[in-house]
Structure 1
Amino acid sequence: MKDWHKLFPNKEAFIVFSLYIILFVFQGVFITASKTENGVYDYNTTLVVFLSELLKLVISATLYTLKRENKPHLFKAIVKDYNLLLLYFIPSLLYCFYNNLAFINLSHYDPTSYYILLQFRVVLTAILFQFLFQKKLAFVQWISLGILTIGCMIKNFDAASVKSKGDTDLWSQIFNMYFLSINFQNFCSCLAGTYNEYLLKTKGSNVDIFLQNVFMYIDSLLCNFFILICKGEVTTMFQDLQSLGDIFVILITVNSAIVGIVTSFFLKNLNSILKTYASALELIITAIVCYILFKIVITGYTIVSICLVVIAVAMYFRNPVNNVNINNSSEKDTRDLKPLLNVVVD
């Protein structure tokens, strides 16, 4: 493809793109598999998010220390760039809401419907992207975003019609509490992702990406700890740890930690617009995997939705947003990740 280099500046960037899709598919499947037969979770989901953020912090701090070279010690670096640490409270709080809402919404939607409905965020992401980076999207790019949104709307009618079964109003099923919940999750996702990209490429462009991750996850731990306090679950944390021994809960925690690290490299080297299309591509894989594992039927609405998403993605790939980093540091950052990617690929 002639514009392939506009999408992926190097091989490592394409690997990051692929890993992002695969890991998020795994996350939806693991969370669905961890539910009981009644569709609820028999473990503390907020504690799982808290432990995931703690694991991300440990990984990021370790990677910063291993590749520190002539850079300051971790604690000195945190003190030096404390302003950036404070700025990361904004995306950290939004990601905190997003991660906790994922469990709630996946308890009421199957993974395919969940990921399709999450695509409502694309237009808002585009608007925020233009505002923060002063880059206008082309007409064709807006058309592809519109097609993507229509695909999501069709799937939402599908999910509502299945639930209503003729005994309740269809519109009340569409615009219910969980529809509002998943759209608040969409808002948190697109604002957090776009603002995180803004920090990575502007305010923190000269700061090591692993150090920026440390800032993010310190703030995330504080935000999730605050939620545990609000829910009155701090005193029972150690008791709740006993319920986290299930294999799927462990996989959720570890996979979430890896997703967090990969997402930071995605936003640093690519952009939040491409991130929404990567999320859209998850739909096809998720639909197939959920049909095989959970016998979740692929309806006609789902097929139409996926087809529209594929068309939108194909249109975007032919007219991508230029993802050149503001300070041209993306090549350096993917080199920082290259040893890790080699381990994953091998």
Structure 2
Amino acid sequence: MAAKRPSSGGQWKQLFPTKCSLFVFLAYMALFINQGIMVTASQRADNSYSYNTVTVVLLSEATKLVVSFLLYLREQLYCLHNITIPVLALYMVPALLYCLYNNLAFVNLAAYDPTTYFLLLQLRVVVTGIVFQVLFKKQLSKWQWVSLFILTLGCIVKQLNITEKNAQVVTSPKTEDITSHMVSSLFSVHTGLVLLQVLCSCLAGVYNEKLLKDIGAEVHIMVQNVFMYIDSILCNAAVLLMRGELGSAFTVSALSQIWQPAVIVIIINNAAVGIVTSFFLKNLNSILKTFASALELMFTAVLSWLIFGMAIGWWTVLAIALVTYASWMYAQNPVVNRGRLDQLEGSQTSEEVRLVSSETTEV
């Protein structure tokens, strides 16, 4: 039986329950677009980096940790509570996944232009839908799945643009040569790394939402952020140790390479992205987060053209059109997922009413 579509006002209310949630949505897109542009701007002419990328990620996590801790102390008037060790341990799962995701971002941005990179990352939408259904036991509607697959089609169309450019390098115009280049591009090492990054993003995002709305719903959001970043710092330190760079990553020479305006902006922006993402998952959901990432494509394509002179081909235009249409279709019937938050808010309201009633009775 088909679900009844809400009115346009109801659709908007389902997408963005509060003005704060709309601000979080817009801030999330703006920060991620800026991150891709800044990372690309910090590359050398050969697409390599003059600084240690793992050190940058580690310093970003440390910045998130300090900011989250200070915000929690400010709100709680320097009173620490709700420190639950089980939740701290559970955050090691998304921390590991985000650690791998963040470090792969530098590798993949060196192999692709920002628009292509963000387009390929939209493959995470379908995978996120599957993981979301499993963890939250919520079945997506037919039209929601159609919008997800149209979004994936947009990613494939963009990949065709890459294979077309690669095929032009071939001196022979034979069809088999062009096909060979298309196949090699689709199954290249960098495509595999993007798919791994997609998997990390899906699992980490949905599991993080599960912790915020269900398993750790009673724990303050900034405390959960602190847990995440403690675990993330441990994971990134382990990456440095495995690469044999734990000592050299924080030498005077290494830190002097980090002390560049562009790199400092990347660290601050990445820290802001992490904190805003936690509010996004708490107030909205993982499915909408992936669509927000898809909408970044239009702005990233234009900015990359304006800043780096990267041409926008017809395949890219078609891909962006598909992404836009998929986003519009999803907006007609968005996913609503509050987890245990409504239950907890209802309990708090009942408790407040009970206290007021008992005070009135005593008077």
Is 2:144–2:334's contact at 8 Å kept on the other side of the alignment?
yes
Are positions 1:121 and 2:124 aligned together?
Answer: yes
Is 1:269–1:323's contact at 8 Å kept on the other side of the alignment?
no
Structure 1 counterpart of 2:291, from 264, 277, 280: 277
**One-letter amino acid matched to 1:197:** E
Deviation of residue 209 (structure 1)? Answer: 0.2
Are positions 1:159 and 2:162 aligned together?
Answer: yes
Any gaps of 5 or more consecutive residues in structure 1?
A: 333-346
Assess, with a 3 A threshold, how the Cα gap between structure 1 residues 160 and 214 changes in structure 2: closer, same or farther: same
Structure-2 residue corresponding to 1:300: 314
**One-letter amino acid matched to 1:34:** S
Structure-1 residue corresponding to 2:76: 68
Assess, with a 3 A threshold, how the Cα gap between structure 1 residues 196 and 291 changes in structure 2: closer, same or farther: same
CA distance in 1, matches of 2:293, 2:88: 28
CA distance in 1, matches of 2:153, 2:66: 41
Matched position secondary structure for 1:38:
coil
Structure-1 residue corresponding to 2:275: 261
CA distance in 1, matches of 2:305, 2:96: 34
Matched position secondary structure for 1:152:
helix
CA distance in 2, matches of 1:148, 1:292: 25
CA distance in 2, matches of 1:169, 1:10: 49
CA distance in 1, matches of 2:345, 2:42: 39
Structure 2 counterpart of 1:20, from 22, 28, 50: 28
What are the within-5 Å matches in structure 2 for residues 141-290 of structure 1?
141-167=144-170, 169-237=181-249, 238=251, 239-290=253-304
What are the within-5 Å matches in structure 2 for residues 30-69 of structure 1?
30-69=38-77
CA distance in 1, matches of 2:58, 2:345: 32
CA distance in 2, matches of 1:60, 1:166: 49
Deviation of residue 235 (structure 1)? Answer: 1.6
Aligned length: 327
CA distance in 2, matches of 1:245, 1:259: 20
Percent sequence identity over aligned pairs: 47
TM-score, scaled to structure 2:
0.87
C-alpha distance after superposition, 1:203-234 (max 9, x if no partner): 11010000000000000000000000011111
Are positions 1:135 and 2:143 aligned together?
Answer: no
**One-letter amino acid matched to 2:129:** A
Structure-2 residue corresponding to 1:5: 13
Matched position secondary structure for 2:334:
coil
Deviation of residue 165 (structure 1)? Answer: 2.7
What are the within-5 Å matches in structure 2 for residues 73-112 of structure 1?
73=80, 77-78=82-83, 81-112=84-115
Structure-1 residue corresponding to 2:330: 316
TM-score, scaled to structure 1:
0.92
Is 1:7–1:323's contact at 8 Å kept on the other side of the alignment?
no
CA distance in 2, matches of 1:132, 1:72: 33
Deviation of residue 326 (structure 1)? Answer: 2.6
Structure-1 residue corresponding to 2:349: none
Is 2:82–2:220's contact at 8 Å kept on the other side of the alignment?
no
CA distance in 2, matches of 1:225, 1:216: 14
Any gaps of 5 or more consecutive residues in structure 2?
A: 1-7, 171-179, 347-363
CA distance in 2, matches of 1:235, 1:164: 44
Deviation of residue 245 (structure 1)? Answer: 1.6
Is 2:209–2:281's contact at 8 Å kept on the other side of the alignment?
yes
CA distance in 1, matches of 2:70, 2:162: 43
**One-letter amino acid matched to 2:14:** K
Is 1:164–1:173's contact at 8 Å kept on the other side of the alignment?
no
Is 1:91–1:192's contact at 8 Å kept on the other side of the alignment?
yes
CA distance in 2, matches of 1:166, 1:106: 22
CA distance in 1, matches of 2:14, 2:337: 6
Deviation of residue 68 (structure 1)? Answer: 1.1
Moved more, 314-323 or 165-174: 165-174
Q: CA RMSD in A?
A: 1.6
Deviation of residue 327 (structure 1)? Answer: 1.8
CA distance in 2, matches of 1:316, 1:46: 36
